[in-house]
Amino acid sequence: MIVPMKKITVLCLAEKRQAALHQLEKIGVLHLVPCAEPQESGGLEEARRTLARTGQAVAILKRYLAPEHQQQQSVTAAGGDIVERCHKLVGEQKSLSDECTALERELARCSPLGRFDPQTLNQLKQRGLFVKVYKVPVKNPPPLPQNAFVQVLSEERGIQWLVLAADTASEYPADEFDLPKQSIDEMRTGLDSQRKRLAQIEDELTGLAHLLPEVNISQTAARNRLAMEEARSGMGQHEQLAYLTGFCPEPRIDELKQAAAANGWGLVIDAPETSDNVPTLVEYPRIVKPIKAVFDMLQILPGYREADISAVFLIFFSIFFAMLIGDAGYGLLFMLATLAARRKFKTAPSYPFVLLGILSTTTMLWGIITGNYFGIPPEVLPAFMQGIRVPWLLESDNIMQLCFVLGAVHLTIAHIWNAVICYPDKRWLAQTGWIGLVWTMFILASAVVLGNPLPIALTAVLFGGGIVLVAGFMTPPADLKKDWINHAMLPLNVVSCFVDVVSYIRLFAVGMASLQVARSFNDMAVGVGMSHMLALPISALILLLGHGLNIMLCGLGILVHGVRLNTLEFSLHKQLEWAGSPYKPFGAKE
């Protein structure tokens, strides 16, 4: 159920705005909407910077968090100090890494010089000698100047590195080698020292990582501070009065009234206007709350003025999941994995595990009535497993027919829902017409795809009556001038309706593909043979990898097909755009 909201305006003295915000933060029921363009201030900018630096520190320390520290909660330092120390160490780490890289490159460049020390050349130059280092080819080297002394330092790949010394400056037509500022030994010593310091920094960051809980607290405090600064900067002011607006769930209005009376605020309570961007708060009944796990994963939410389809979504998603997986053996594996995960994560919310339990159960039931266990051929199954199969579901055409029935029923529910909402507005008649068109498309799909007989009279009545009702009542007469495009698009929408019904055949196609993949890997494993010890592990590996790959492909099929049929086909017919923004009350987070 989407919780009704009220639009709230809170008025207080301008000098007491900060106190009012602190009280509203404690109550935590008002979803704030800026009354004015937020004014940039030093406090707002500082709050953003603090939150960014704290978030970066959290990300850094998580990389150094050892498994034995993940559950450790004791702290010995303030979060802010840890953040600053972390940034200082990371800055030093980056600087040292850059210096190490530069030294490594310089050592690689100067490696042909051996343990050459440029200080020696400098001493010779101070004595008046002309001394330089050159790179010359071994074959056809340039002629040496007269009275020059040459010392070859090394030779590699047809190149010689040599020192040329002479009494006077001499021109030598060869590539001069840029000498390093330090000796080779000094560079190596410096590199070793920097590497040791890098190791010390790594150790220190690892030591700080177990203080991550305190940094998380600082991050939460930074978020709260930023929310407070944004709320303050978004308040409006008129003379000596300050005010703010927001939305509050109707069941919690009394909490605001009590706070207003205790603090001397003015309180204006209105119904939201059509133009307001009202946040959505969904309260799920216990029986359908498991589907919240899917909505959270997809990050979708109905708009405030849209419908909560969680119950229909859960029912049909469970059916689609079972048909797309289609294997009782896989369903059993899912159930065992769910029970193991629940046992490991005892403090986690229960609804995701309940959803997985429902999906595992429906998958097992579908696999049992269709006789599918890890793709094992039906004739190999025990007699009691063969006996509990439903014969009607053993024919491919019957399963495809079932897919079309599911599609027509699914879309019919959407239009019945729309008609109930529209009544007594005459547009409910247009929704009734769409129901006729949906079943017309079901009849056509069955005839075209499955070759079923086409009942001409019934099809004509459903199609003709549906078109008349939709065209005649889809738009109120007063809105025809601005909404005429809906009538122009009607032929395309009718074709789209046919495509929507046919698209449910994907349940059969993907399920059949999963079955064939499982059987193919089984055949491969049997082909390798299980008659001797060497072939047995190979066959087991083929089965493990093959069925593992098939399960992953099935999971992808759930996201692509099972979710799509609810969030696209059904939602389009339900006129649901998933345009909701979540209800986020202003309040300190723990």
Q: What one-character-per-residue DSSP string does 169-185 give?
A: -----SEEPPPPSS-HH
**pTM for the whole thing?**
0.80
User: Is pLDDT at 77 greater than 70 in this prediction?
Assistant: no
508-528 mean pLDDT: 91
Domain ranges, residue 122: 116-182
Higher pLDDT, residue 65 or 553: 553
Instruction: Return all residues near 582 (Cβ < 8 A) that are at least 6 apart.
Output: 279, 280, 281, 301
Higher pLDDT, residue 565 or 525: 565
- As given in the structure block, the two tokens for residue 298 are 């997809």
- As given in the structure block, the two tokens for residue 139 are 């074959």
Whether residue 261 is contained in a domain is answered as no
On the 0-12 / 13-18 / 19+ scale of CB atoms within 10 A, 322 is buried
- As given in the structure block, the two tokens for residue 138 are 């071994």
Number of C-beta neighbours around residue 265 at 10 A: 20
User: Is pLDDT at 69 greater than 60 in this prediction?
Assistant: no
235-240 mean pLDDT: 86
pLDDT above 90 covers what percent of the chain?
59
Q: Are residues 49 and 163 in the same domain?
A: no
Q: Are residues 42 and 176 in the same domain?
A: no
Whether residue 89 is contained in a domain is answered as yes
Q: Are residues 49 and 91 in the same domain?
A: yes
User: Is pLDDT at 71 greater than 70 in this prediction?
Assistant: no
Q: Are residues 42 and 64 in the same domain?
A: yes
Whether residue 387 is contained in a domain is answered as no
Whether residue 132 is contained in a domain is answered as yes
Q: Are residues 101 and 196 in the same domain?
A: yes
Instruction: Return all residues near 430 (Cβ < 8 A) that are at least 6 apart.
Output: 422, 469, 470, 472, 473, 474
Q: Are residues 214 and 82 in the same domain?
A: yes
Count, residues in the chain: 590
Q: Which of 208, 62, 47, 223 is nearest to 590 (CA)?
A: 223
317-344 mean pLDDT: 96
User: Is pLDDT at 183 greater than 70 in this prediction?
Assistant: yes
Number of C-beta neighbours around residue 290 at 10 A: 23
On the 0-12 / 13-18 / 19+ scale of CB atoms within 10 A, 32 is buried
Whether residue 196 is contained in a domain is answered as yes
The mean predicted confidence, pLDDT, of the chain is 89
439-456 mean pLDDT: 95
Instruction: Return all residues near 379 (Cβ < 8 A) that are at least 6 apart.
Output: 386
Q: Is the dihedral of CA 42, 43, 46, 51 positive or negative?
A: negative
Q: Are residues 173 and 200 in the same domain?
A: no
Q: Are residues 175 and 51 in the same domain?
A: no
Q: How confident is the model at residue 113 (pLDDT cuts 50, 70, 90)?
A: confident
Q: Are residues 72 and 125 in the same domain?
A: no
Contact assessment for residue 176 and residue 132, using Cβ atoms and an 8 Å cutoff: yes
Q: Are residues 172 and 196 in the same domain?
A: no
Q: How many structural domains does the chain have?
A: 2
Dist CA 411 CA 59 (whole Å) = 46
Q: Are residues 59 and 176 in the same domain?
A: no
Q: Are residues 199 and 89 in the same domain?
A: yes
